Structure 1
Amino acid sequence: MTERSGLRRKIWVAFILQAAAISFAAVLGVYGASAVLKHVLIQRALQEEAVHFWDRRVADPQAEVPDTYNMTGYLVQSGHVAVLPAQLRRLDPGFHSLPRAQGGSLVLVEDRGDQRLYLLFKQEQVDSLAFWFGMAPLALVLAVVYVIAWSTYRASKRAVSPVIWLASQVQQWDPDHPDVDAIKPENLPGDVEGEALALASSLHEFGSRIGSFVERERNFTRDASHELRTPLTVIRVASDMMSGDEGLSPLSRRSLGRIQNAGRDMEALIESFLILAREGDTGLPDEDFPVSDVVRDEIEKVRPLLSGKEIELEHVQEADFELHAPSRVLSVLLGNLLRNACHYTDHGKVLVTVKRGSIEVRDTGVGMSREELAKVFEPFYRGGDRRKDGQGIGLSIVRRLSERYGWPVVIESEPGHGTTATIRFPAAS
């Protein structure tokens, strides 16, 4: 787990976004409060000041218009605007906001009889009020929000640190030899407690079980490799010796041939299963080998399957190339395709062509329909003539091996016109 995509970074990003969202909301709130202060409270103050002035004017016709630090007033006869500052002369009754170039004041113009009252509230005072009643509280609120967010982040970081530590330990495990001692309860850091401690205990138990399973599977693979091959070797040697007996009847020879074919198929199946038994590790060393050598060996192995059939097994070498992989894997993969071709071909030809970056196995057998071709890689599915010998898992093994090693296999077929299987090797193309 990298820091870039880790849990700690995600928490940090979440708190940053949260703080940004709160800041944005606070700024909008202060901006709205400033608008209320400017367009509601001050307008209300100007209206009340105007009412108060007109009341004083009724009581004392000589009452002066307001002239204070915050407010300036003018009272003129309607139509006599020459005595007013230039920026006020064209204003109609109502509220107005002057640009800053013209003083930036908020202005109330009100008529009473033949007199017109102008009240100006200075913009500087509006800005000062907006600052002290808006920006100052905003700065204080944001400071509190940031302190709380940082404190919460630190607390969250401490809370998830045991989980992150556990994840790093598990990430370092070797699938074949998981080191579970590091997360034993007695080896855990002091801050691992509660749910993290329960998780660590579960992971320790799980890792221990994985280790046991891996060891059991390794022992089975080793024992099966020896114990299953030994009796098959005895059967193969004994059947080969029996085939040299000239006194065998035709029926016995046919039965012996079936025994030999079944033994070869069983050897190939055991080899395939042992390779597939270890996920990600075949137990076979990688090596650089020429593909043509494996092709020739597998062709010779399947020739006995064509005994008694009018079939020509032909090998065409258009190119040769090397692979870096266990050679036995290619032997198993190609052997399954060749046995399939031989089983389902009664006359004609089985042609193996080695091209640059590919191996093609073409036969003139019974072929398959489109529906059969769609299911050809399913385990235990047998297309074409189901009376033929076979277990129906050869192509399933081919698919699994091809996917593991990145050697795609493409099969094309047409009923009555045979089948073509092509193994491609992208790295060698």
Structure 2
Amino acid sequence: MPPAEPIRRTSRAVKVRRRLRSRIILSFALLGFVLTLLLAFSANWVRNRVEEDIVIDAMSRNINEYQRRFFESNGKQRDLPIQQWRAFVFTPDKFDQLKVEEPDWWDLPDGLHRLNGIDEDGEPFNYALTVRKTPQAWFFLAYNTTESARGKEKFNNSLIAVVVVFTALSLLIGWWSASKVMSPVSELASRLRAYRGSSDPQPLAPHFPEDEVGELAQALDDYSDRLTDVVQRDREFNADVSHELRTPLAVIRGSVELMLSRSDLDEKTKARLQRIQRAEQQGTDLISALLLLSRSERGHGNTDVARVVEQLLESHRAQLGSKALVLRMEGKCGRVVDAPEAALSVALGNLIGNAVKYTKQGEVVVRLLADGVEVIDSGPGLSAEDAARLFERGYRGSHAGHSQGGGIGLSIVSRLCALYGWQVNVRPGEVTGVIATLSFLPRADTDTDSST
């Protein structure tokens, strides 16, 4: 695993934690705003409804009283001694006067009406008008609601201020509550970050009370214990397998070397023994590389790239038989990489081996570059699907046919590159074949479209 990966995950966790805190604060603010807004709307609606009922009731009682006094006095008593009220009565002989003085009142039906007017000073005002029309007379009772409208405007402004104040108060309460709620979570994350890279992490649960965060800490402790056991068993298994496989390989190596030292060997037997020797070396290199991958440990060494390429080409030349294929190396490179020879041999061996396997005739050229190696073949090429899935574990290309192999070679190459910070890329050739590139530059200095 690349070293930068845990940092990216930690950064993502911090962003998630901050978004959670922001959501808590926003939830409190929205709750306060919505509840206060509903309260303000309800209070305003109730106030208007009560005021309307009071006005309607008062005007109905007063116009009834006005009508009663008018008829009892045979039309002589026209005054209604109530402040902010004005009463008007028009008998049939004065209907024409009504059309002139108050034309807006002429077509109004019985009931309460809201109207606007202009007073003696030219200032607009609002008033409520109750209309009662009888065959003997038309009665009009007007009530000036200008002051009431101003009071309503002040009341609405006060409600707006209340909404703003209580929303701000909810925001502060939300910020305080979020800080209290997220404080143990932040402490848990800090303790987890402090254990990064530790081979013996301490339990988290004792540092937290028995609440939801404490349960989370206990679950993390349990998961850590299980994960530690799995990793420990995996490492022990890999070490045991490596040891058990190295023993027979060492026996094979010793036996082959002893047999090759004999002077009475014919060329055919010698060639077969040399093939066994190369296979033993490849097996030993592969075991070493897999052991490094299983431990995620980057081995060190001063490995000459050109010398490894020459060894691999010589090994494959001995296995060509009658195949019309030329293997050659181009360029001179004194590049030395900080990696065990086994790791580099496995990475380049898979790339060169694939080129040799799928190229029926022509040539396979291994070109040494200043910062890497290119393996160029004249084989059948690479399809778009193969290019997209070539490094997937278990995937075998469309040209694999009935050839041996489980489709894990390039997957191992990809994992080795991830471990050492190399880059591997496979693309179609300019005319035919495939070009595989292994670059030894650090990840930060390479193109982002590599296929690791």
Counterpart in the other structure of 2:312 = 301
Cα deviation code 1:110-142 (max 9, x no counterpart) = 54445452412332134436867x787898899
Match of 1:97 among 108, 115, 138: 115
Counterpart in the other structure of 1:420 = 435
Q: Does 1:363 align with 2:377?
A: yes
Q: Does 1:247 align with 2:269?
A: no
Q: Does 1:205 align with 2:222?
A: yes
Q: Shift in Å at residue 199 of structure 1?
A: 2.7
Correspondence list, 1:186-265, <5 A: 187-189=206-208, 192-218=209-235, 228-229=245-246, 231-233=248-250, 235-236=252-253, 238-240=255-257, 242-249=259-266, 252-265=269-282
Match of 1:407 among 423, 428, 434: 423
Counterpart in the other structure of 2:6 = none
Counterpart in the other structure of 2:64 = 51
Cα deviation code 1:253-287 (max 9, x no counterpart) = 45424422422331332233123213xx43335x9
Q: Shift in Å at residue 337 of structure 1?
A: 0.5
For 1:326 and 1:254, locate their aligned partners in 2 and report how far apart those are by CA, in whole Å: 28
Q: Does 1:277 align with 2:299?
A: no
- TM-aligned CA distance change 1:321 to 1:243, over 3 Å: closer
Match of 2:85 among 67, 71, 90: 71
Cα deviation code 1:218-241 (max 9, x no counterpart) = 555666666655653553454345
Normalization by structure 1: what TM-score? 0.73
Normalization by structure 2: what TM-score? 0.70
Cα deviation code 1:199-218 (max 9, x no counterpart) = 32222222233334444555
For 2:224 and 2:353, locate their aligned partners in 1 and report how far apart those are by CA, in whole Å: 41
For 1:144 and 1:428, locate their aligned partners in 2 and report how far apart those are by CA, in whole Å: 55
Q: Shift in Å at residue 394 of structure 1?
A: 1.0
**Consecutive unaligned residues in structure 2, runs of 5 or more:** 1-12, 448-452
For 2:168 and 2:131, locate their aligned partners in 1 and report how far apart those are by CA, in whole Å: 45
**Contact 2:25-2:178 within 8 A present in 1 as well:** no
Counterpart in the other structure of 1:122 = 145
Q: Shift in Å at residue 242 of structure 1?
A: 3.2
**Contact 1:344-1:388 within 8 A present in 2 as well:** no
Larger mean CA deviation between 10-19 and 168-177 belongs to 168-177
Counterpart in the other structure of 2:196 = 174
1:72 aligned counterpart, secondary structure: strand
Ranked by relative contact order (alpha carbons within 8 Å, sequence separation 6 or more), the top structure is 2
**Contact 1:352-1:360 within 8 A present in 2 as well:** yes
Counterpart in the other structure of 1:28 = 41
Counterpart in the other structure of 1:80 = 97
1:282 aligned counterpart, secondary structure: coil
1:266 aligned counterpart, secondary structure: helix
2:18 aligned counterpart, secondary structure: coil
Taking every aligned residue pair, what percent have the same amino acid on both sides? 25
For 1:74 and 1:323, locate their aligned partners in 2 and report how far apart those are by CA, in whole Å: 109
1:284 aligned counterpart, secondary structure: coil
**Contact 2:126-2:146 within 8 A present in 1 as well:** yes
Larger mean CA deviation between 330-339 and 67-76 belongs to 67-76
Q: Shift in Å at residue 104 of structure 1?
A: 3.1
1:273 aligned counterpart, secondary structure: helix
**Contact 1:71-1:122 within 8 A present in 2 as well:** no
Q: Does 1:395 align with 2:417?
A: no
Match of 1:165 among 187, 190, 194: 187
For 2:306 and 2:66, locate their aligned partners in 1 and report how far apart those are by CA, in whole Å: 112
1:335 aligned counterpart, secondary structure: helix
- TM-aligned CA distance change 1:320 to 1:82, over 3 Å: farther
Q: Shift in Å at residue 381 of structure 1?
A: 5.0
Cα deviation code 1:333-365 (max 9, x no counterpart) = 223201222344454321123457664312234
**Consecutive unaligned residues in structure 1, runs of 5 or more:** none
Write the letter of the residue equivalent to 2:128. Answer: L
For 1:227 and 1:122, locate their aligned partners in 2 and report how far apart those are by CA, in whole Å: 102
Give the aligned CA root-mean-square deviation in angstroms.
4.7
For 1:305 and 1:30, locate their aligned partners in 2 and report how far apart those are by CA, in whole Å: 91
2:210 aligned counterpart, secondary structure: coil
- TM-aligned CA distance change 1:23 to 1:145, over 3 Å: same
Cα deviation code 1:126-168 (max 9, x no counterpart) = 4436867x78789889988987897788667656644443344
1:98 aligned counterpart, secondary structure: strand
For 1:413 and 1:262, locate their aligned partners in 2 and report how far apart those are by CA, in whole Å: 30
For 1:314 and 1:205, locate their aligned partners in 2 and report how far apart those are by CA, in whole Å: 56
Counterpart in the other structure of 2:355 = 341
Write the letter of the residue equivalent to 2:72. Answer: A
For 1:319 and 1:43, locate their aligned partners in 2 and report how far apart those are by CA, in whole Å: 103
**Contact 1:7-1:164 within 8 A present in 2 as well:** no
Larger mean CA deviation between 193-202 and 355-364 belongs to 355-364
For 1:220 and 1:419, locate their aligned partners in 2 and report how far apart those are by CA, in whole Å: 38
Write the letter of the residue equivalent to 2:326. Answer: E
